[in-house]
Amino acid sequence: MPGTPYDPADDGAQMEFDGRMSYGDYLALDKVLSAQSPISSAHDEMLFIIQHQTSELWMKLAIHELVAAKGKIAAGDLSPAFKMLTRVARIFEQLNSAWQVLRTMTPSEYEEFRDQLGQSSGFQSYQYRAIEYLAGNKNAAMLRPHAHIPEVHAWLDGLLHETSLYDEAIRLLAREGFAIDKAMLERGPSTPHEENESVREAWLEVYRDPRKHWPLYELAEKLVDFEDYFRRWRFNHVTTVERVIGFKRGTGGTSGVAYLRRMLEVVLFPELWSIRADL
């Protein structure tokens, strides 16, 4: 009948949830949506909290995918690893878009609640540190901000001393017959990766004959894709911070923009970038 409101129950939709699992139950929305607790009266503090909480959720998924991808590469099961690494790149694409929302907050609006943050700072994100360690950017000094949470410190210390995603890719090159330096294969996993000529030559051979080495070629491009989006995330972080606080020191005591710009110089998979000049 015209004008009669649509009732989803007429199409079989479940409308009563007493004793049944609902959407909110499954997603634990009571916990998720009650986790925003501004400590000032500033309107934009809610934006600041949600921006960082949602970023941490996306990073949780990125870690889930990176750990799984590393395991698949170690096992030589590359097809699932490609899907996982593609997903990680898209996660960072999502994280990049989130900066656009935070940039709607002006310096004046941030100053309304900045003092309430105390010494808390994004550089203390243990999930971000986990992503760095998983990718291969190992820096033991960055464990110290997490010493006050033993379980987090132990988890990160474990990642520091485990092989990284890139370590496993290099080991795969060796298993596929490429002449990788023995010292590179036997070095301690906690040692930061430095560009190595044998690794560079191996990737160069892969890129010079993609058809012969297609799985390795595709793996290389998935790694580059991940680092590409990761670099953009770092760059957008820098420009957002500069836009909002200029060159003030960070709340966590870092030099702020200067510290973040230094992070832009870190290259996760250096050989995969340097070989491009030789092709």
- Cα 157 from chain centroid? 18
- Least Cα distance to 86 among 193, 228, 192, 204 occurs for 228
- Cα 14 from chain centroid? 38
CA atoms of 180 and 142, how far apart (whole Å)? 29
- Amino acid identity of residue 129, one-letter, is R
CB 213 within 8 A of CB 206: yes
- Least Cα distance to 132 among 81, 44, 52, 63 occurs for 63
Question: Residue 180 annotated as binding?
Answer: no
CA atoms of 165 and 10, how far apart (whole Å)? 52
Question: Residue 240 annotated as binding?
Answer: no
Question: Residue 51 annotated as binding?
Answer: yes
Residue with tokens 């694409």: 93
Question: Residue 114 annotated as binding?
Answer: yes
Question: Residue 4 annotated as binding?
Answer: no
Find the farthest-apart pair of alpha carbons in the chain and give their distance in angstroms, rounded.
79
What are the structure tokens assigned to 233, written together? 């995330």
Question: Residue 131 annotated as binding?
Answer: no
CA atoms of 175 and 162, how far apart (whole Å)? 19
- Secondary structure class of 42 (helix, strand, coil): coil
Question: Residue 48 annotated as binding?
Answer: yes
Eight-state DSSP code of residue 2: T
CB 69 within 8 A of CB 88: yes
- Least Cα distance to 140 among 195, 189, 67, 184 occurs for 189
Instruction: Give the containing element (helix H, strand E) for 65.
Output: helix 45-74
Question: Residue 6 annotated as binding?
Answer: no
Question: Residue 259 annotated as binding?
Answer: no
Binding residues for substrate: 48-52, 110, 114, 251
Point out the annotated binding site for heme.
237
Binding-site residue set: 48-52, 110, 114, 237, 251
